[in-house]
Amino acid sequence: MSEPPASGEALLDVDHVTMRFGGLFAVNDLSFSARSRQITAVIGPNGAGKTTLFNCITGFYKPQVGRLTLHHPQGPLLLERLDDHVISRRARVARTFQNIRLFARMSVLENLIVAQHTALMAASAFSLAGLLGLHRYRDAERRAVAKARHWLDRMALTGLADEAAGSLPYGHQRRLEIARAMCTDPLLLCLDEPAAGLNPRESAELNRLLRSIRDQDGIGLLLIEHDMSVVMEISDHVVVLDYGKKIAEGNPAEVKRDPAVIRAYLGEPDDADLPPEPTGSASC
């Protein structure tokens, strides 16, 4: 399998991307780069355009303007020109969702094997080799199970392999969804609010997990997150959106101090909230 770009090299370039619905600009002339082997966080208030951006990157939407370039080892790919299934399979862009989308009635292990269906179907010659029990299919099946068990170990879910995915506690389901995405061998992993609904202990475990994926697996992570303790602790680079436009970017410390970011999150006081002006004439 092709190796990802070296650490720090551009993995995804977002160039002047615009996505509008009627007269509403969900993403407005947005440009930034996400780098390989780094965690890039995209933050902003509700309605800032974060999920729309993810939908453009993963092929659910086609932006009206702009370019999304993934620097694949075999050559750059323009994601806005590819269908979503091609982006997943050929470009190797994986995604999780804000609302968990596991196969609830399948076992934990089966969820991770199903994630590898493209490789298994190819090895089975689209079912023929599987029906005949040929060696190449049996070998591919063994590799798929081994990969699934590897990620169960990484997620501390091995003891739950035979449990129905829908019966797991919420935090375990979040980890399983990330494991399922990683079973596709992504170059870029897009995580839509992975810390949503987690308690502080689970958020700390998530931080360790995402850092290990960055450092051990050498891929780029693009993260949408409202939990600022997660963003500020693990991000290498932060991009801030407000009403579809980029208002700031930089390392977490720089972004945290940026006045435009503070205004976007906290707002500016209305005149009614300001203290009254002193009355009477001042003496000289």
Identity of the residue numbered 249: E
Alpha-carbon distance of 162 to 159, in angstroms, equals 8
Looking only at the bridges linking them, the beta strands covering 237-242 and 24-35 are: unpaired
User: Which residues partner with 19 through β-bridges?
Assistant: 27
Q: What is the pLDDT of residue 129?
A: 47
Paired sense of beta strands 93-95 and 188-192, if any? parallel
Are residues 161 and 113 in contact, defined by beta-carbon separation less than 8 angstroms? no
3-state secondary structure of 97: coil
Work out the widest C-alpha separation in the chain, in whole angstroms. Answer: 101
What is the identity of the amino acid at 51? T
- pLDDT given at position 274: 44
Q: Give the distance, in angstroms, between the CA of residue 283 and the centroid of all CA atoms in the same chain.
A: 62
pLDDT at 98: 86
Query: Residue 273: its pLDDT value, please?
Result: 43
* Sequence ranges of the domains in the chain: 1-92+185-284, 101-183
Q: 215: which 2 tokens?
A: 């450092």
Residue 43 to residue 32: CA distance in whole angstroms: 13
3-class secondary-structure state, position 70: strand
Q: What is the mean pLDDT of each run of 10 residues along the chain (284 residues)?
A: 68 98 95 97 93 96 97 96 93 92 94 83 50 65 92 96 96 96 96 93 94 95 92 96 96 93 73 49 42
Burial 9-31 (b: 16+ CB within 10 A, else e): eebbbbeebbbeeeeebbbbebe
Can you name the CATH fold of 1-92+185-284?
Rossmann fold (3.40.50)
